Amino acid sequence: MARPSWCCATTATPPAPRCWPATAGIGRCTADRYVDDSIDVLSRNAPDLENALHHSRRDSARVILDGTLFDSDRCAERKPDDDSVDLWYSGHKHRHGGNVQFIADADGEPVWVSAAEPGPVFDITAARLHALPLLPRAAQNGLVVLADLGYEGAGAAACTCPSIASDTSHENASAPITPITRPANLALRSMRSIGERAMTLLVERWRLLRHTTKRPTRIDELVKAALALHKFEKQTR
């Protein structure tokens, strides 16, 4: 069976991605099906939340919970309660996409990603659906879960720490900043900001995550496939 020319080391200038199926001698629909099948296989190898929390509790004392919006093409699907609004359009980000929750370890490495919710869904709402059911038990076992103020109301499951960080709390915004709370806020923000590195690693490595033309309901499978490949690459280094 002949190898596709873009896989050969002798190819000086690889063809554009849309020309790959023709170069390999297969149809475009067949190539799309191969891609979908590969994504399905890889996404099934991504760690689930329970295993991710177990390994994180063993390897480090804390994790970071956060969410991000993955861009997609416009989708004509409408909200069930309002036919005039696109289901996947985020008014906050002003673009279409899916809200994916993720957990990063203390080093900023991604360890888990959730299913995708429509763009307008708030982080705390998506977390209640996919992450918070298991986080309280992990917190009771000694794992510290850090999150930003978008997760206020998560209770003991996630530490947004408004009680000791009064200058970042919406409820205590007018409270005076003491010499104790300011260093505490700085320390918490420093530890929590490391979580931003997790999605940066995936998005910068896999261009498909920057903007996908697939249907938005496939966003979570794309991110899970990227996470599985990231972990495989990390093991083989």
pLDDT, tens digit, 9 for 90 and up, residues 75-128: 778 877 777 778 999 988 899 999 999 999 989 999 999 999 999 999 999 999
Give 3's pLDDT tier (boundaries 50, 70, 90).
very low
**DSSP labels for the chain?**
-PPPGGGSTT-SSPPPGGGHHHHHT--HHHHHHHHHHHHHHHHHTSPPHHHHHHHHHHH-SEEEEEEEEEEB----PEETTEEEEETTEETTTTEEEEEEEEEEETTS-EEEE---EETTS-HHHHHHHHTTTTHHHHHHTT-EEE--GGGTT-GGGSB--TTT-GGG-STTTTSPPPTTHHHHHHHHHHHHHTTHHHHHHHHHH-GGGT-B-S-GGGHHHHHHHHHHHHHHHHHH-
Which pTM does this prediction carry? Answer: 0.78
Query: Is residue 160 scored above 80 in pLDDT?
Result: no
What was the pLDDT predicted at 172? Answer: 52
What was the pLDDT predicted at 6? Answer: 36
What was the pLDDT predicted at 25? Answer: 74
Residue with more model confidence, 33 or 11: 33
